[in-house]
Amino acid sequence: MVSKRIIPCLDVKDGRVTKGTNFINLRDAGSAVELADKYYNDGADELVFLDITATIEKRKTLLELVKNVAQVLRIPFTVGGGISQLNDIEALLRAGADKVSLNSSIAANPALITDAAKRFGSQAVVAAIDVKTSAELKKVFVKGGTQETELEAISWCKKVCELGAGEILLTSMDHDGTKEGYDLEFLSKIVKEVSIPVIASGGAGKPEHFLHAFEIGVDACLAAGLFHFNELSIVELKSFLKTNGINVRL
């Protein structure tokens, strides 16, 4: 049986890890390299690094910082932010990333998913989808959650799967930073509609929230502030999940 994964997320702005609520009101959470090293030693299964202002600022991801983070890790490492072409992906993989997270660029150019999967393998392509309720519909947002698209979330999740993405990182903007739990109702719909792994993101506040997400079928749970501000340790979380019947790597 494949183990369920716990994935800390480093949202990086100006070279520092930050955390906000509903994608705004950001506060400093520390050094990306120091946190990456800590999470690796604490037993994280993977790590996600998102340069959250790269697309808005129309620049590339911070390559040197990616290299420094990669040097302290021996677990899968996903990097996103400011990636718009195959050369960007190649540069990040050469810098030490194992996967890339594509969001704004694939909404504008869906063919990038297929091109990237053909060149680097589907396992290296993560479709990051930021979802927010708009006029009672779940819509896809891009550019760090600042711009609404015409894309309906369930249809887009199915589309990225068809185009060759290896997994989906699904973030609920409505739940982000609230610590009230993942958007289980929506996640359960996506898990049933796609054939690739789904990573739940947005809203984790206590161990039960991870448990409930795994129980509806997600493959991994991502969290940020909960870990950054020492409100819950990965060791404690995995012990709780194991006790409750979830297969995790201890």
Residue 11 known to be catalytic: yes
Cα distance between residue 234 and residue 166, in whole Å: 25
- Angle of CA points 180, 103, 221, to nearest 5°: 35
Question: Rounded distance, CA 194 to CA 189, Å?
Answer: 9
Given 45, 51, 88, 130, the catalytic residue: 130
To the nearest 5 percent, what fractions of the chain are helix, strand and coil? Answer: 35, 30, 35
51 catalytic per annotation: no
Distance CA 94, CA 63 (A): 10
Supply the DSSP symbol for 52.
Answer: T
Q: Which of 11, 45, 88, 219 is catalytic?
A: 11
* DSSP notation for 132-146: EEETTEEEEEETTTT
- Tell me the catalytic residues: 11, 130
